[in-house]
Amino acid sequence: MIHVVCSTCRTSLSSDASFCPHCGPDSGALFISERSRVPTGAETETARRLKAALGPQFEVVRLFGRGGFAEVYEVRDTELERRLAVKVLRSDMVWTPGMLQRFKQEARSVAQLTHPNTVPIHFVGEGEGLVFYVMPFIEGVTLADVMRAEGALDPERAITVALPVLEALDHAHRAGIVHRDIKPDNILIEAGSGRPLLVDFGISKRVNETTPLAESHEGVIFGTPIYMSPEQALGQHDVDARTDIYAMGALLYHMIVGAPPFTGETAHDIVAQHLTEPVRIPPEKAAEVPAWLADVIVRAMAKQPDERFPSAAMMLEPLRQGARRKRAAGLITASRVLSRVNRDDPTIQLEAAPERRRITERRFILTGALAVAALGAAAALVGRPAPEFVVENAFPEPVSISVNGDSQRTLGPGDSLRMELRRGAPLQAAWHVVGPRSASGDQLGESLGGTIREDEPVGHIRKRLDIAAAGPGYIVPRVTNATGESLSVFLHDSTGSRLCDCVVIPGASNVPLGYLHPIRTRGVSLVAPSGGRVTYAFDSLAARASAATGIVPLRVSRADLTFPVAANARRRPEPRPQEPVSDVPDLMISVPPPAPVDTTPFVPDSIVPRTDTAAAPKKDDPLGPIFQNR
């Protein structure tokens, strides 16, 4: 059974739901990602046909994801030993020959893209009644997954995502392809490299076509309302690269603000705002967003296409300039040293203005050429350089950290934070792992975290946050369910068993159960609806755990399950030997007749004795002689 949950209110939804009816289209990003909520290893009719169409060289591994028009299967090339992703037009929809032809033409057009921030297409195929194309299989998470876990991104990080996506868009636009569905779910962050990839050109079009594949249905508008340009929302067929520019502005807004530019209870409400409402950065976020970045967003989201950036290359330029300014702000220059010295030690003032020259008690003002010569002496007077704190997240999950009471910052897996500390001030940083959560939003397992403290920080202080920093004994089981049934999770401790608010659906891979510790957990049981179960003692799990991460991979197949013995399958007692049967006369059963009714009147405070008297059967009763002793 596919389990879909709204990311906002945690309401369970039907398997084909595109958004929550309570929270509106903004809830289209579901709590359980598309990849984890699709049953894997399923022997579907489409999978069987796909295997026949691909040939014996390819093995269909699992159904990986399902969208409005297509399904994605993970496939293994057994000869070249590589993982592939095959996108197949859904066989449960009606496709005309013209629509199938357009799909194949579109796939061939996208196959021409060679940008490093797009996913190449190896080949387009058709067979067994299926139309499909084959791509490399990319491990990673979507930008939507990142934003659900971390919330708003700081502007610098948002720009590092936007720049390569815009470069990929510029490459596609030059090839005459408009994406038309820019959104966080279509930006994949590759595991390991962190490279953003623009994927899913499923409803893209060539700029010289006015009736692309998706618009063959008259009156139907395709796209995502939250990021859709006004002209695309109005159903105009002649949209060009500027519709992607609008969507990129909406995406940038969402990344830095933490919410889309327009929300509403229905898609019509959102579209109406795209058509009429100007975009505004919320006042509480305005101080964090550089003015130049806000200007880029506002121009990109202009209602009229002519008022936007005319191309992705033109939108790239101010973002690159802003990124360069940000990097330049981090360089150590003479002016920055002067500023730092003046702020950190008010007894020494260095100034480059030649017209101001005065000396006061313990206050020296040096001018122009003397400033550079005096830097060395000033540094000696000030003392040691300011300490620097660097913290690295080595957990496979995000980590939230607060340094010296500042607001929380979130570090993704493999990310690091570098910051300069005030001289003489102690260092105190509190951190915790943003661990996995159940369908109802509760934390799974133990809350992992700690404190970093240095009373007199000096020099370069580097800390690595990993399983060892949390303390000894922690493990995190990750379950792969190959049983074909949903598995409920029970945790055992000294007081008994408790049900974990989590279910591992059939085919799910590497589902984390949270961080467990022997203080509270003695074992883990996985129970199927059919009654089968498998139990692991904590010690056996700890012996298999990775020393670096605490991860314990658990692959559970049906053969691992133990089923209770059914009641009717228990061993029956051996039958007793019977006595030899002999001819005996038929047993005559005698039933005594009912006692006569006592008609003696009731006398208070007295006991009336009863006498049982047998009455003779009536002569006309044919059963009397039969039930009478002989």
Residue-level pLDDT at 70: 81
Residue-level pLDDT at 590: 45
In a domain, 6, yes or no: no
Q: Strand runs (DSSP E) across 437-510, as ranges? A: 449-454, 460-465, 476-482, 487-493, 496-504
Confidence of residue 400 (pLDDT cuts 50, 70, 90): confident
377/424 same-domain check:
no
The CA-atom distances, in angstroms, between 434 and each of 177, 254, 321 are: 39, 21, 34
All residues at 6 or more sequence positions from 300 whose CB lies less than 8 Å from its CB, including other chains: 245, 246, 248, 249, 252, 308, 309, 315
545/487 same-domain check:
yes
Residue-level pLDDT at 68: 67
176/204 same-domain check:
yes
375/296 same-domain check:
no
Residue-level pLDDT at 381: 38
* CATH number for the domain harbouring residue 153: 1.10.510.10
**Distance between CA 406 and CA 431 in Å, rounded?**
12
Residue-level pLDDT at 236: 78
Number of domains the chain contains: 5
Helix (H) or strand (E) holding 242: helix 241-257
Instruction: List 187's β-bridge partners, or say none.
Output: 198
Residue-level pLDDT at 89: 86
Residue 306, pLDDT above cutoff 80: yes
314/456 same-domain check:
no
Q: What is the 3-state secondary structure (H, E, C) of 356-374?
A: CCCEECCEECCCHHHHHHH
Residue 563, pLDDT above cutoff 60: yes
Q: Which domain holds residue 393?
A: 388-470
The CA-atom distances, in angstroms, between 317 and each of 183, 211, 324 are: 21, 32, 11
190/317 same-domain check:
yes
Question: Do 14 and 4 contact (CB within 8 A), yes or no?
Answer: yes
In a domain, 25, yes or no: no
Burial 7-20 (b: 16+ CB within 10 A, else e): bbeeeebeeebebb
In a domain, 27, yes or no: no
Q: Strand runs (DSSP E) across 259-385, as ranges? A: 359-360, 363-364
In a domain, 1, yes or no: no
188/301 same-domain check:
yes
Residue 69 CA to its chain's centroid (Å) = 22
Question: Do 105 and 199 contact (CB within 8 A), yes or no?
Answer: no
Query: Which of 110, 136, 162 is the last residue in one of the domains?
Result: 136
Four-point Cα dihedral 142, 143, 146, 151, nearest 10: -150
Q: Which residue has the higher pLDDT, 563 or 112?
A: 563
Residue 199 CA to its chain's centroid (Å) = 17
The pairing of beta strand 70-77 with beta strand 58-66: antiparallel
How big is the chain, counted in residues? 630
pLDDT in tens, 451-498: 888 888 888 888 888 888 888 888 989 999 999 898 988 888 877 777
In a domain, 601, yes or no: no
Residue 576 CA to its chain's centroid (Å) = 64
Query: Which of 101, 136, 171 is the last residue in one of the domains?
Result: 136
In a domain, 95, yes or no: yes
49/132 same-domain check:
yes
In a domain, 2, yes or no: no
Query: Which of 327, 354, 373 is the last residue in one of the domains?
Result: 327
pLDDT in tens, 278-290: 898 888 888 889 9
Q: What is the 3-state secondary structure (H, E, C) of 148-210?
A: HHHCCCCHHHHHHHHHHHHHHHHHHHHCCEECCCCCHHHEEEECCCCCEEECCCCCCEECCCC
157/124 same-domain check:
no
Residue 304, pLDDT above cutoff 90: yes
pLDDT in tens, 195-226: 899 987 755 555 445 444 334 444 344 567 88
271/177 same-domain check:
yes
In a domain, 309, yes or no: yes
0.75 exceeded by pTM: no
375/486 same-domain check:
no
396/432 same-domain check:
yes
Q: Is 28 helix (H, G, I), strand (E, B) or coil?
A: helix
* CATH number for the domain harbouring residue 431: 2.60.40
Residue 158, pLDDT above cutoff 90: yes
Q: Hunting for tokens 């080949």 — which residue is that?
A: 123
